[in-house]
A and B are shown apart, each in its own frame.
Chain A
Amino acid sequence: MAAKKKSSKSNASADDLKAYYRDMLLIRRFEEKAGQLYGMGLIGGFCHLYIGQEAVVVGLEAVAEEGDKRITTYRDHGHMLACGMDPNGVMAELTGREDGYSRGKGGSMHMFSKEKHFYGGHGIVGANVPLGAGLAFSDKYRGNDRVTFTYFGDGASNQGQVYETFNMAALWELPVVFVIENNQYAMGTAQKRSTSTPDLYKRGEAFGIPGEAVDGMDVLAVKEAGEKAVAHCRAGKGPYILEIKTYRYRGHSMSDPAKYRTREEVQKMRDEKDCIEHVRDLLLTGKHATEDDLKAIDKDIKKIVNASAEFAKDSPEPDEAELWTDVYAEAVPQKA
């Protein structure tokens, strides 16, 4: 294991750092806005916010190349923004409108972008893990060196199909990075109350899959681990597990009474480990940016996020005819 707490400042340029800052801030502000729109009744149903975990996707997207694929479960807005999907389209899907990525038919948990190789957004815990291995299978079958990032949580890591998939991914040497986003709570159940052994990165040992624990509040540590994992997969050596230790500040979903952890625990993480503050410090202390530079970024992000909220409010609800479209891939004569 190598949960090194070394902030490898060395290999990140000022531009890199600024880009990570910006990308993480976009996710945070977007999610805060989504929470606000939920409170206003504009977003319905389940809505799982990514606030606190931003360094995971931003660090891994920093090592992804064109054609690499990604798939995740339902805490998925951050993944979509990090891989370059349009905030307007994501927010409009959250509000269930015509201009959403799924034209309003998927919602928060079910969004996709073929263009950005984002394969969802899946609502069943653990089910996206074999799907991710299947995407990696398609690349291996075609003989290219693309990699699939398959994200799931500490909760999903107890699902049986995850281990069926580990077995086959190792057996067939599939180019898949299994990213366990360990935010320490499966809904409201702390990891130590649900999981017999604490080290999830060792869960591949029985299948011969190498694993590594990573400080998920440090975007540079995530990126470094990601480089290693991706190089392993691209070299045809099969799957790799990254257990990224992270933390979500908000509830599991919007209706979370937060009785399973203390307010102090959450506050301590925010004060001491926040991934955005971390990069902000690096930028300022390293004299890579001034307060004014960062304020300008903040302002720009706020504008993008506010515009996405306006867009998502103004976009019309889907046409009633949409009820019947996309059930089948071509027009099937409905004979009944």
Chain B
Amino acid sequence: MPTEILMPALSPTMEEGTLAKWLVSEGDTVSSGDIIAEIETDKATMEFEAVDEGTIGKILIEAGTEGVKVNSPIAVLLEEGESADDISDAPKKDAAPEPEQKSEKPEPKAEKPASKPAEPKAPEPDRSPDWPEGTETKKQTVREALNAAMAEEMRENDEVFIMGEEVAEYQGAYKITQNLLEEFGARRVIDTPITEHGFAGIGVGAAFGGLRPIVEFMTWNFAMQAIDQIINSAAKTLYMSGGQMGCPIVFRGPNGAAARVAAQHSQDYAAWYAHIPGLKVVQPYSASDAKGLLKSAIRDPNPVIFMENEILYGKSFDVPVLDDFTVPFGKARIWREGEDVTIVSFGIGMTYALEAAEKLAEDGISAEVIDLRTLRPIDYETVIASVRKTNRCVTVEEGWPVASIGNHISAILMERAFDYLDAPVINCMGKDVPMPYAANLEKLALTSTKEVLDAVHKVTYR
């Protein structure tokens, strides 16, 4: 049966083109790969190759014709034993790609939006305690808690290993991996060269291969060298593979401003990574959360961004004495209950939030302080339930103001708690400048307890 040669689509966006020139005539024999015509698209003149072999039976569109629609027949190809007389038999349906099918293709149905609309039902936050009442606790620094979390998980599972700069013999640039080399050996505690892009990629590949890497960045600032591997390789591969290829990996290290290290070493990446579907994002404040969340992160089948803070490393908190203590993702912690205002924060922002709440109590203002703990997923229920009670909200973080976590919380509250708000939500933020070195300027660039107090007075009108 004669085959129709159709006007081809030669770019992702081409709908029609000019048939500039025929390089074959009727009666010519062609084989697959022969160039038979030149076609002008909106971008370039392209050569058009024959796919099948045969004889050009008839040319349907003359050279020089403009506006030839993609998929319209331009010539007829005869196979061995066919003659030009057979051309009227050319199968329209067989060769043409059923245009009806195209039209029903990608039209998004307007009446059925992909994302679910906000539901008016009251949110039900999970208020169960992190550990059973009466459990013995001990004072531990965040540093000790992180170290213990890794050691416990490495004892449990041989597939867990840690790699990064100075994690082994140096005992960790911030001593988080202290003694791990001694206990687990060089096979599982691996010093890398200073090459974040490369070792982040090797870590992701090892996770594809079924291991459970913990990749330490000396600080998150240096992870910008590796961000393509974190986002394009780690976060997206499960989706791109239709669920076949997971990436169970933890990227961890100190995040945000330390002290007097200036612009390139002082940046909060919370909002950056929280933006990415496929990642989970954690920023703990206390030692118990650092421990419980890091253990959850190591066990999680997804890539987890775990952001610590250098200033918090030496701070002590109560940590439960339990054989296996974990904290689930997506569950905020209420540090103080209150009636007059909700203060939402995470990570080192909690130091300002809690200090402000203390001072506010002296002035007779009762603040509820919520530590989000995980930024993806975020526990919206706990925040919304609190704001429905207090009718006011202030957010606190050290990151930059544009497209911040505070902005996002504000938007969610506007959408889901609008009628409960008695004042606009205020975001206490890092200033919109690179971090300066001078001590006084650095202080100004960060948010502060005073800014939180001012914001609370503003939203409570007192």
Contacts and interface: CB of A to CB of B under 8 A. Distances in A.
Chain B associates with chain A: yes
Given A35-B51, A167-B198, A41 B228 contact: no
B99 to A, nearest CB: 9
B9 A134 contact: no
Contact of B248 (A33, A136, A323, A329): A329
Contacts of B233: 122, 124, 127, 131
Nearest to B378: A335
B193 A32 contact: no
A134 B207 contact: yes
Contacts of B12: 44-46, 254-255
Contact of A102 (B229, B241, B329): B241
Interface residues of A, number: 79
Contacts of B70: 41
Interface in A119-150: 119-124, 127, 129-139, 141
Q: Which 8 interchain pairs have the tightest Cβ spacing?
A: A134-B205, A130-B201, A164-B198, A138-B209, A39-B8, A257-B44, A255-B11, A329-B301
Interface string B1-12: 000001011111
B51 A38 contact: no
Interface stretch (A7-15, A16-24, A110-118, A285-293): A110-118
B121 interface: no
Contacts of B239: 105, 326-327
Interface string A25-54: 000000011011011111011100001000
A106 interface: yes
Interface of A: 32-33, 35-36, 38-42, 44-46, 51, 69, 71, 100-106, 110-114, 119-124, 127, 129-139, 141, 160-161, 164-165, 167-168, 171, 249-251, 254-259, 263, 270, 313, 317, 320, 323, 325-330, 332-336
A54 B201 CA distance: 28
Interface residues of B, number: 73
A71 B208 CA distance: 11
A308 B43 CA distance: 31
B381 interface: yes
B71 interface: yes
B377 A114 contact: no
A131 B199 CA distance: 9
B301 A106 contact: no
Interface string B206-225: 11111100000000000000
B79 to A, nearest CB: 12
B161 interface: yes
27 contacts: A35-B51, A40-B71, A42-B97, A71-B205, A106-B241, A120-B241, A124-B232, A130-B198, A130-B199, A131-B201, A133-B205, A134-B201, A138-B205, A141-B161, A161-B198, A164-B198, A164-B199, A168-B198, A251-B46, A254-B10, A255-B14, A256-B46, A257-B45, A329-B238, A329-B246, A334-B377, A336-B378
A119 B240 contact: no
A112 B244 contact: yes
A257 B47 CA distance: 7
A257 B379 CA distance: 52
A129 B202 CA distance: 8
A249 B202 contact: no
A100 B243 CA distance: 12
A204 B175 CA distance: 35
